[in-house]
Amino acid sequence: MSNFFIILFCLIVGYCFRRFNLAGKNDYRIVNNWVIYVGLPSIALLHIPTIEWSITYLFTGLLPIVLFGLSYLFFNTINIWLKYSRRTVVTLTIVSGLSNTSFVGFPLIITFFGAEQLKVAIVSDQITFLTLSTLGVLLAASTKSVFLTKREKTNFIIKRLFTFPPFLACIAALFLGDLLVAKDMGEFFNALAATVSPMALFSIGMQLRFKNLDKEVRAISLSLFFKLLLGPFTLLLITYFLDFQGIFYQVSIFEMFMPCLVASSIIIEKFSLNIKLSNTIIGLSIVIGLLLSFVWYSVINTLL
């Protein structure tokens, strides 16, 4: 329970830093850079060498892709009646179909399941990032292409993948695993990895904004309904009926109940989609998602 209070404390402190001008408008990016370039790679280098790989990890890897597909089907289906613009539908699909598996997910995994289960969460996080960088980019580009050629689009996707430090750390951990399991190395990466939770949550607190609520109530409500209830609960029911039981599946499903992925706003802004709508949804999803996290943990723990 103490970890949960730490989560709330870090969020509130981050929000207060922005609210009372204790930090600049974009200072959260400095914190993000530490998390992305140091903290998340350290988690990968610490835990991936200890993973006993099995075919069950395919389940973890498929979940983010299936969730994104369900988001696409949901918003394109209801748009038959709602008649939103293509730009808004794609925005809702991307922001609702990807989970915040690291910045919010990792701290909550540690709180509810223990740090040793981060090895499962890391796989979920990397596939989520791959989904954003491939399917997310391709979908966003279908509305208004900013690329002159297909080669330029391909190069953009490849560059995103191979300049993302946690992804590179995962590759390094797979090939250098034997060198990274030494006790001294483990202590070193463990100390750096411990900074991720407080700094990531502090950064999220600095970014929380709740604007345009009255103008986009229906779109925001539908997005939150899918992201925090319908989409992940569908995956939970499928897992339950397949009789997949145990903490491995609990952690994999729990990651899908996480709030909207903050990084999705980068793609939404890049392709001139509805950035104001997406930022409002992301901020609300984090607050509501944190409040619901214990509920979903209890439900998942009961069914799986």
pLDDT at residue 169, rounded to an integer? 86
When pLDDT is cut at 50, 70 and 90, the band that residue 28 belongs to is confident
When pLDDT is cut at 50, 70 and 90, the band that residue 104 belongs to is confident
pLDDT at residue 113, rounded to an integer? 94
The pLDDT of residue 246 is above 60:
yes
Among 234, 271, 282, 9, CA closest to 144 = 271
Task: Kindly state the average pLDDT of the residues 63-91.
Answer: 95
Task: Kindly state the average pLDDT of the residues 160-166.
Answer: 82
When pLDDT is cut at 50, 70 and 90, the band that residue 1 belongs to is low
The pLDDT of residue 74 is above 60:
yes
- 2-303 is classed in which CATH architecture? Up-down Bundle (1.20)
Q: Are 37 and 59 spatial neighbours (Cβ–Cβ below 8 Å)? A: no
**Which tops the pLDDT comparison, 9 or 231?**
231
Least confident stretch, 64-78, 122-136, 190-204, 226-240:
190-204
Give the amino acid at 294. F
pLDDT at residue 233, rounded to an integer? 97
pLDDT at residue 256, rounded to an integer? 97
The pLDDT of residue 145 is above 70:
no
| Domain residue limits, the chain | 2-303
- pLDDT by residue (tens digit) across 269-285? 778 888 788 878 888 89
The pLDDT of residue 99 is above 90:
yes
Q: Hey, what are 109's tokens?
A: 């995994």
Give the amino acid at 43. I
